[in-house]
Amino acid sequence: MKSQKRYKLVDIFSGMGCASLGFRQAGFEIATALEINPIRCEVYESNLKVKPIIRDVMNVDGKQILKAGKIRKTERFCIVGCPPCQSFSKLSDTTSVNASSDPRSKYVKKFAKIIEETKPTAVVFENVAWMVKGPGKKFFEYYLKKLEKAGYSTVFNTVNAADFNVPQNRHRVIAISIKKKHMTQKVQKSLQKFLNTKKRNHKTVKDAIKDLKPISVGKKDIEDNLHFSRNHDPKVLKIIKAIPKNGGSRTQLPRNLWLECHKKIKHGADSVYGRMWWDKPAPTMTCRCTTPACGRFIHPSQNRGISLREAMRIQTIPDNFQMGGNRQRAEEMIGDAVPVHLAKRIGIQLMQILP
């Protein structure tokens, strides 16, 4: 569906550009992006053909962003931002958190400040679910209050990417803020309905990766640089081989194959060294998504962790997307990315409701 509307997009914390790519597919024109990591900026530029501002967001203001994006004061544009979220996982106490002064909230605060300074037509904020239901709640409330004061109404929800055509269970809070004058009742209802989307038939691991060539441990598909299996040491390989095919878990292993550290675990960590299921969505791709010791990241039927290509397919990153950096850096960028299909769906929704 091609829209006649022209909206520019500014992507703050742009990473390697998956959110930007999805918005571009929805019809947005990428005006500028901002990202601190030079490798991610290189990958961004080679795919999006836009050079991001390579800076620490803390040293940039709204004026500079508008200038870099050649955005005039009267122009309609949107901002998307996925502030880094690692710090929220370490927060255990929410009651004593002062959201306005806590250093861990600095990126959320800065993002809100950029909105105040640039006044986009709409803003999309993406983050981990802890932001609304857990440790980051105070920061999220602070963010909402700031945007409200700046003249925006926000609709938000925790969505599962699997409900948006992504073959992966990935729960993220999406907050869509629009200038109050555009947030009519009809628009608000439409956004609420969109963020409550539930799908019966989810895309599966089979849909995402079944056509890729089988590869053995330590080997690669000579036609695809990103479809390679990392080497597993003999002890790990023995475990992997013994995990039942299609959804098997380490808890099903004979006791003699249990690692010492696993013997000490009473509850939890059931997914580590787990195999994905062919007929279900994959688990959340993380920054360690090709590492069996870090989650359910073993191929459903082959005896190896998934390849970067498989992880990218699960993140709905197209095969013609150029990666950069070494294996570990690539794995991190993939795990951090917003699934392209999810970003595209959000972009299409915005195009439908914005003036």
User: Which residues of this chain interact with ligand SAM, rule CB under 6 A?
Assistant: 13-19, 34-37, 40, 56-58, 82, 84, 336-338
Question: 110 near 134, Cβ under 8 Å?
Answer: no
Report the nearest approach of ligand SAM to the CB of residue 82 (Å): 4
| Minimum CB–partner distance for residue 337 and ligand SAM (Å) | 4
Instruction: Tell me the closest approach of the beta carbon of residue 49 to ligand SAM, in angstroms.
Output: 16
Closer by beta carbon to ligand SAM, 57 or else 99: 57
CB-wise, 15 or 136, nearer to ligand SAM? 15
Q: What residue number has its CB nearest to ligand SAM?
A: 15
Q: Which residues contact 54 (CB under 8 A, 6 or more apart)?
A: 35, 36, 38, 41
CB-nearer residue toward ligand SAM: 35 or 45: 35
Q: How far is the CB of 166 from ligand SAM (least distance, A)?
A: 13
| CB 98, min distance to ligand SAM, A | 21
Contacts of 99 (CB under 8 A, 6+ apart): 105, 138, 139, 141, 142
Type of residue found at 262: H
Rounded to a whole number of angstroms, the minimum distance from the CB of residue 44 to ligand SAM is: 8
In terms of CB distance, is 16 or 178 closer to ligand SAM?
Answer: 16
Cα distance between residue 102 and residue 117, in whole Å: 22
| Rounded Cα distance, 189 and 195, in Å | 10
Do the beta carbons of residue 168 and residue 161 sit within 8 Å?
A: yes
H or E, element range at 140 = helix 137-149
Cβ closer to ligand SAM: 22 or 27? 22
Phi, psi (degrees; rounded to nearest 5) at 156:
-140, 160
The answer to whether the Cα torsion of 306, 308, 309, 313 is positive or negative is positive
Of 62 and 247, CB closest to ligand SAM: 62
Region for residue 14 given its phi and psi (left: phi exceeds 0; alpha: psi -120 to 50; beta: otherwise): alpha
Contacts of 103 (CB under 8 A, 6+ apart): none
Q: What is the DSSP letter of 211?
A: T
In whole angstroms, how close is the CB of 55 to ligand SAM at the nearest point? 7
Would you say 33 or 215 has its CB closer to ligand SAM? 33
Smallest distance, ligand SAM to C-beta of residue 218, A: 28
Total Cβ atoms within 10 A of residue 44: 28
Q: Which of 22, 313, 297, 321 is nearest to 174 (CA)?
A: 22
User: Which C-beta is closer to ligand SAM: that of 49 or that of 264?
Assistant: 49
End-to-end, the C-alpha distance of the chain in Å comes to 17
